[in-house]
Chain A
Amino acid sequence: MLTRAVRPALNAGVAASVRPVTAHAANYATLREIEQRLKSIKNIEKITKTMKIVASTKLTRAQKAMTESRTYGQTSNTVFEKAETKPLEDENKKTLIVVASSDKGLCGGIHSGLTRATRRMLEEKPNSDIVVLGEKSKAQLSRSNSKNIVLSFAGVGKDVPTFADAQAIADQISLLPTDYGDIQIMYNRFVNQTSYVPTPLEAFSEEAIANSPQFAQFEIDDEVLSNLREYALANSLYWALAEGHACEQSARRNAMDNASKNAGDMINKFQILYNRTRQAVITGELVEIITGASASEE
């Protein structure tokens, strides 16, 4: 390659020209620096492109899981809709907020969006407790509301969430000592490929279910009621996790797409700068040689 062949000569030239004029070098990057920068940007572009492809393949699976889990969760909630269940309006009972985020970053602002929505909710009900799923929101919430956190789960979002995940989480939540008036599950609702809305999903307490106006239409024994509650909580959690996962993958795909585009722009810019600088250096050298030659002729 031309650059390779030219480099030794250039290095000598650059080294010679840089040392005496340091002020000149400060605002004018050397050829070598530009080349190194260009190389690292190209590497970054490669990485972001690969991550985008990975996220795209994962996205199709995540979206499938999401549509399945959505019907699942909605069917499970039909009971409460038909029973017209409302959350308890009891001031003495605490609210539990479950934040369904994940462990991994590099996916734009979906985690911080979720955290912000949770904080807003906490302002309304400062007495609530929080359960955090996933490291990202845990880090953010532990800075501002660490007193409210009662449980945190790690290992969320490595793969498409399974129902076993949701069940285990629901179990641990129902084993919590405090009796909660209602449970709000915060998750990112998937609107379309580019927009996600942090939404609360209601999971009712036993009392709230028992007090619902149309409750008499169902034949539910009191003993089975707690089963229904636990199961409904697991269903809702599964829905929230799967939908959140799909949002995350889609957000990551977009973020990586943007990163690759920006890297491409930067590469173009730096390539032009590199070529210009190279030419300037060559011209400078030629001038030096010619002046040197004409001076020694005389």
Chain B
Amino acid sequence: MAFAWRASGLTYNRYLAVAARVVRRSLKEGPRLQAERRGEMELRFAKWENGKQGENKSLAQENASSMAEHASEGQK
């Protein structure tokens, strides 16, 4: 059982998040605004190496790019 989204490098959580976003966006105006607030994520993160903190990056962008990387690895 192979999943198309897994082949394109998405994790299950990412897949769920995208699906949830689609459902939220298809809601009516009133409930939609409320629901979209639940999907917001503004975290930043940093990688640490040898006890030093790396650069602070936006988590959403980094997740997207690292998954794109995984996708290209999968196709090789």
> Chain A interface (Cβ within 8 Å of chain B)?
142, 146-147, 149-156, 158, 162-165, 167-172, 174-175, 221, 223-224, 226-227, 230-231, 234
Contact = CB atoms under 8 A, between A and B. Distances in A.
A234 B13 contact: yes
Interface residues of B, number: 34
Contact of A168 (B3, B20, B41, B46): B41
A153 B44 contact: yes
Q: Is the interface of B mostly helix, strand, loop or mixed?
A: mixed
A147 B50 contact: yes
B60 to A, nearest CB: 7
Secondary structure at chain A's binding surface: helix, strand, loop or mixed?
Answer: helix
Interface of B: 1-3, 6, 11-14, 16-17, 20, 38-48, 50-53, 56, 59-60, 62-63, 66-67, 70
Contacts of A164: 17, 20, 38-41
A54 to B, nearest CB: 19
A155 B60 contact: no
Nearest to B38: A162
Contacts of A152: 45-46, 48, 53
A151 B41 contact: no
Contact of A165 (B2, B6, B41, B46): B41
Nearest to A133: B43
A151 B48 contact: yes
Contacts of B48: 146, 149-152
Contact of A163 (B3, B38, B46, B50): B38
B43 A167 contact: no
B51 A147 contact: yes
A142 B52 CA distance: 9
Nearest to B42: A155
Contact of B12 (A155, A156, A169, A230): A230
Contacts of B70: 175
Contacts of B60: 168
A152 B53 CA distance: 8
Contacts of B40: 162, 164
19 contacts: A146-B52, A147-B51, A149-B51, A150-B47, A150-B48, A151-B47, A155-B44, A162-B41, A164-B20, A165-B41, A167-B41, A168-B43, A170-B13, A171-B67, A172-B45, A175-B11, A224-B1, A230-B13, A231-B12
Contacts of A175: 11, 66, 70
A154 B16 contact: no
A156 B45 CA distance: 10
Contacts of A151: 45-48
Contact of B51 (A146, A163, A165): A146
Nearest to B45: A153
A155 B16 contact: no
Contacts of A230: 11-13
Given A174-B11, A230-B11, A153 B43 contact: yes
Nearest to B69: A175
Identify the interface centre among A153, A162, A172: most chain B CB within 10 Å of its CB: A172
Nearest to A234: B13
For the complex of A and B, list the 4 residue pairs with the smallest distance between their C-beta atoms, beginning with the closest.
Answer: A146-B51, A227-B12, A167-B13, A164-B41
